[in-house]
Structure 1
Amino acid sequence: MSGMVGATVLPQAGAKGDGMPQTDPEGAVSSTGSAARDGLPDYAAAPQSDGLPDIPAHGGQVRAVMQHFPTAARPFFDLSTGISPFAYPLAVPEAAAFTRLPEEDEEADLRAAAAQAYGVADAAMVVSGAGSQSLIALLPFVLPAQRVCLLGPTYSGHRLAWQGQGIAVMQVDAPEHLHEAAIQPGTVCVVCNPNNPDGREIPAAQLRLLADQCAQHGSLLVVDEAFADLGTQTVAPLLPHPALVVLRSFGKTYGLPGVRLGFLLAEPVLAAQARAVLGSWPVGCVGLAAGRQALRDTAWLNHARQQAERAHARLTTLLRQAGLACFGQASLFTLVTLPQAPALWRHLCQHGIVTRIFPDQPGRLRIGLPGTDDAWHRLENALRAWRDQQK
């Protein structure tokens, strides 16, 4: 597989190799030249020595970031995640729910709600867990893999999960290169769709062809649809496709990341194996209540989709008015690329706005949606000041 066109062997976590791609634990895995092939400028992925402070591995760690900016404006506004600012109005379980173990029929009802929400024909194809990240970590224990091929740069939680179990991981930088990986038996191909952090979206029809190819050659396709709820491209209805596994995140779409709820969707035998590995009570009472309420509330989801689309359009307009280039089709965030991205990140931090910088790709900045008028006004003023500084 190392001879594949466009493929890069990824180092083990923490490894420093000559000419090897460097990785950021939360965001993207980079390989030389991949940005240009993604339609992004070369500097977006080029490692630079820019004196960035020691920042957390994940977005959403506001206090850890802002300790480096003691004079920043307050309150702080967190735009470092791709989490919807439009939170579902959850009815919290009564106190008595915390004093007992979850019942089996409650989890079964949650899986039924997820099957309906994601367009899966049978709840037997649904596995519920404590967030999609926990299900990513589960994959090496339930999928037979000799090697893994990622479409990148992408969320590196996938790389870390497989490498943690001693599985070699390759990266390709264009969707067409996945087909070469798919014809090699024992390969698990992984695609985030929409992708994080650049928002790249691949048509579902194209992924179906890849899944069919995997089925023909004894390989598998994992599609991480963590940001797909508010879009139109999903492969979940293809199940029970024998070579397809789909991941879905609850917290991002419903603005409730602290609930820790996610789903793995697969053909029934594989789904049953995954549930057996997870064991009893994979989801607590809050997750059970939240999922059973929100996943059936299609009116709320449609409204949230419209809100996100309007907010995304407003965000990209502000950024472009500041002379910044925006990329991506994911409605909950946008990617900005510029050589001065570290300086823009610091500038926004000084204005009390936390965005997501990637130390291994400092030409990229991911910006989420503001959730309040105050946050929008702060961002607008900060971007105006940035634009004026560049004149």
Structure 2
Amino acid sequence: MRDHGGNIDGARAQFGGNASDWIDLSTGINRVPYPVPDLSAAAWQSLPTQTALTSLKQAAAKAYHTTASILPVAGAQAAIQMMPRFRSVGLARVLGPTYNEHAASLRAAGWTVEDVGTLDALSGADLAVVVNPNNPDGQETSPKELLALSSKVGHLVVDESFADARPDLSLAPHMDHLNTLFVLRSFGKFYGLAGLRLGFVLSHPDNISQLADMSGPWPVSGIAIEVGRRALLDSEWAISTISRLNQEVCQMDSLAQTAGWTVRGGTELFRLYETPSAQNAQYKLAQKHIWSRIFPWSPTLIRLGMPGTTAEWARLSEALQ
């Protein structure tokens, strides 16, 4: 099933309230977003130039500490939908359970897809997918393990949508122009600007050239270029945000444990908990207009993103009590 968080319209239809009444914790999007700067008239009025796109790619290379070639795209989702079309269909294996769009996009393009539970089981696939750190359980795979795996599969796609707060896990600095590797990065989650629709594909120059032909001359908007470049170069904001999120992980886990939930993993942008009944837990939170994420493949697991303000933290604390 292609189920997702962020379906706040459905929550409102069932539980009422205005959009402003709700705290949407069903996604892993940072609720303390990067402050959007004043934008130039050209960002709104002109088609993006190659010079502007190059400046964005340079900012991404610096932020991700990589020498790989980079293609900006309209969110990591756009990259996920491009991957099945990169090469002829074959056997794909996805390390799961994980973000379901990888398998869904591959199947929609005609691939045979196997969901596997261990890294070793990916070996032999024409295309293998690893989300690192994983969504929703935060499982971590080291760059060393991923590099070893890359020689055992046709192509390896590593989705690093939640790696901004864990640069030690990122494969981006270690790619060395290997033509079997793709790294996908999301901008909107960590920077809290998912509506901007910006992400990146990192790979060998030949691979990026092929994907660039698929994506066309203007893969992202002038607004995304201008905001994205500014944010990616703001290392002070990133360091401060990582520090805050690390503190909030402890705060969130403490609240959940007080409610009788068991920590099952997560990342700095969301946490995963085991409850007696995930559906019941979601229902009770929704009555307080707090939306959460549960999964069709588990009756007990619930995922919560991090609140963004003191008032939101207070509402969540009260609801969990």
> What band does the TM-score fall into relative to the shorter chain?
over 0.9
Q: Of residues 263, 275, 279 in structure 1, which corresponds to 2:212?
A: 275
Q: Counterpart of 2:237?
A: 300
* Percent identical residues: 37
Q: Which residue of 1 aligns with 2:114?
A: 170
- 280-289 vs 205-214, which moves further: 205-214
Distance across 2 between alignment mates of 1:325 and 1:294:
35
Matches within 5 A, 1:100-249: 100-122=46-68, 125-179=69-123, 181-182=124-125, 187-214=126-153, 219-231=154-166, 232-239=168-175, 240-249=177-186
Q: Secondary structure at the match of 1:154?
A: coil
Please report the TM-score for the alignment, with normalisation by the length of structure 1.
0.78
Classify 1:306/1:143 alpha carbon distance in 2 versus 1 (closer, same or farther; 3 Å).
farther
Residue 362 of structure 1 pairs with residue 261 of structure 2:
no
Q: 1:73 to 1:65 in 2, by over 3 A?
A: closer
Where structure 2 has 5 or more consecutive residues not aligned to the other structure, the ranges are none
Q: Structure 1 residue 144: deviation in Å?
A: 4.0
- In the alignment, the residues of structure 2 paired with residue 90 and residue 99 of structure 1 have an alpha-carbon distance, to the nearest angstrom, of 18
Question: Deviation string for 1:240-292 (max 9, x for gaps)?
Answer: 12211100000001010010000000011001110111111101011001111
Structure 1 CA distance, aligned partners of 2:199 and 2:132?
16
Q: How many angstroms apart in 2 are the aligned matches of 1:269 and 1:350?
A: 52
2:317 pairs with 356, 363, 380, which one?
A: 380
Shift of 1:329: 4.3
8 Å Cα contact 1:127/1:271 also seen in 2: yes
C-alpha distance in structure 2 between counterparts of 1:141 and 1:99, whole Å:
32
Q: SS of the counterpart of 1:66?
A: helix
How far, CA to CA, are the matches of 1:255 and 1:74 in structure 2?
17
Alpha-carbon shift at residue 375 of structure 1 (Å): 1.1
The 3-state SS of whatever aligns with 1:68 is helix
Residue identity matched to 1:380: S
CA distance in 1, matches of 2:89, 2:17: 50
Check 1:379–1:281 CA distance in 2 against 1; reply closer, same or farther (3 A cut): same
**1:213 Cα deviation after fit:** 2.9
Residue 188 (structure 2) aligns with: 251
Question: Secondary structure at 2:280's aligned position in 1?
Answer: helix
Q: TM-score, normalised by structure 2?
A: 0.95
Q: Secondary structure at the match of 2:56?
A: helix
C-alpha contact 1:71 1:350 (8 A) present in aligned 2: no
Q: Assess if the C-alpha contact under 8 Å between 1:73 and 1:350 holds in 2.
A: no
Residue matched to 2:45: 99
Query: In the superposition, relative to structure 1, how do residues 143 and 296 fare at CA in structure 2: closer, same or farther (>3 Å)?
Result: farther
Tell me the SS of whatever aligns to 1:334. strand
Distance 1:74 1:105, change over 3 A: closer
Task: Report how far residue 74 of structure 1 moved.
Answer: 7.2
Aligned to 2:32: 86
Which digits, 9 at most, give the CA deviation of each residue in 1:55-114, with x for residues without a partner?
xx3222223212211379972111110011221112142334322111110001111111
TM-aligned CA distance change 1:135 to 1:74, over 3 Å: closer
Structure 1 residues 257 and 115 mapped into 2: Cα distance closer, same or farther (>3 Å)?
Answer: same
Counterpart-to-counterpart distance in 2, 1:260 and 1:74 = 22
Shift of 1:201: 1.2
Listed one character per residue, the Cα deviations across residues 335-361 of structure 1 (whole Å, up to 9, x for unaligned) are 112231110100000011100112332
- What is the CA–CA distance in structure 2 between the aligned matches of 1:273 and 1:87, rounded to whole Å? 33
SS of structure 2 residue aligned to 1:248: strand
The answer to whether the 8 Å contact 1:72/1:349 transfers is: no
Cα–Cα, structure 1 residues 251 and 328, in superposed 2: closer, same or farther, change >3 Å?
A: same
The CA distance in 1 between the partners of 2:111 and 2:224, in whole Å, is 31
